[in-house]
A and B are shown apart, each in its own frame.
Chain A
Amino acid sequence: GQQVKQSSPSLTVQEGGISILNCDYENDMFDYFAWYKKYPDNSPTLLISVRSNVDKREDGRLTVFLNKSGKHFSLHITASQPEDTAVYLCAAGTGGNNKLTFGQGTVLSVIP
């Protein structure tokens, strides 16, 4: 089965609004969580990551929230801009083992 799931294939947000992207996982052993961003015809690049010893990490307009008991993590993008339009892939893994498992991706569209 799908160990890491992004249940929303797409999301549309107005410019200036908050984009919230969600990811659920099944494996209790996962302790590393990441979000990658992918533009069309480009390769995915790491946006932000967090370890399981924290439940929140901020970096500029980006915040990752981790809910270990609910096996859920999310990415919040504040003041969303048209250039945030891309595919967002969540990923999870076990520390010391680089075998990252990715979700299916969510296409974010930020409209002016």
Chain B
Amino acid sequence: GGIITQTPKFLIGQEGQKLTLKCQQNFNHDTMYWYRQDSGKGLRLIYYSITENDLQKGDLSEGYDASREKKSSFSLTVTSAQKNEMAVFLCASSRDRANERLFFGHGTKLSVL
């Protein structure tokens, strides 16, 4: 088995701040994802990456940057945190493009003061 580790678990930021969330997986999976979870809105895809150094925009990419530095890690940057923003960011991975099963991390909870 493998595991997806997201750091930090909790992130408190100030309005306008640039914040970075990190994700590591030891499944040796090709594809990694960042989803945002808001109450009543399900999971919305921010960015995904099908291999090292690849980056694909999801439906919610505006206001975010991402980086797939190596196969095992995928980081997400909130470029300018919005006041009173509160959401959970979930990282996931899947073996390859033909295997749709996603494995999720436990999430990073963001609060912006």
Contact = CB atoms under 8 A, between A and B. Distances in A.
A69 interface: no
A104 B40 contact: yes
- Which of A43, A89, A102, A105 is the most central at the interface, judged by chain B CB atoms within 10 Å of its CB? A43
Contacts of B56: 99
Interface residues of A, number: 26
B33 to A, nearest CB: 8
Interface string B74-108: 00000000000000001000101111111011110
Contacts, number: 59
B48 interface: yes
Contacts of B94: 98
Nearest to B105: A43
A105 B4 CA distance: 22
Interface string B29-52: 001010100001111110010100
Contacts of A53: none
B98 A43 contact: no
Task: Report whether over half of chain A's contact residues are helix, strand or loop; otherwise say mixed.
Answer: strand
A100 interface: yes
Contacts of A99: 45, 48, 56, 58
Nearest to B99: A98
Given A42-B106, A43-B90, A43-B107, A102 B101 contact: no
Interface stretch (A11-19, A44-52, A71-79): A44-52
A34 B107 CA distance: 21
A55 to B, nearest CB: 19
Given A43-B106, A89-B42, A102 B35 contact: yes
Contacts of A49: 100-101
Contacts of A43: 4, 90, 104-107
A101 interface: yes
Given A96-B98, A100-B102, 12 more contacts: A9-B40, A43-B90, A46-B101, A95-B100, A98-B50, A98-B97, A99-B48, A100-B45, A101-B45, A102-B44, A104-B40, A105-B42
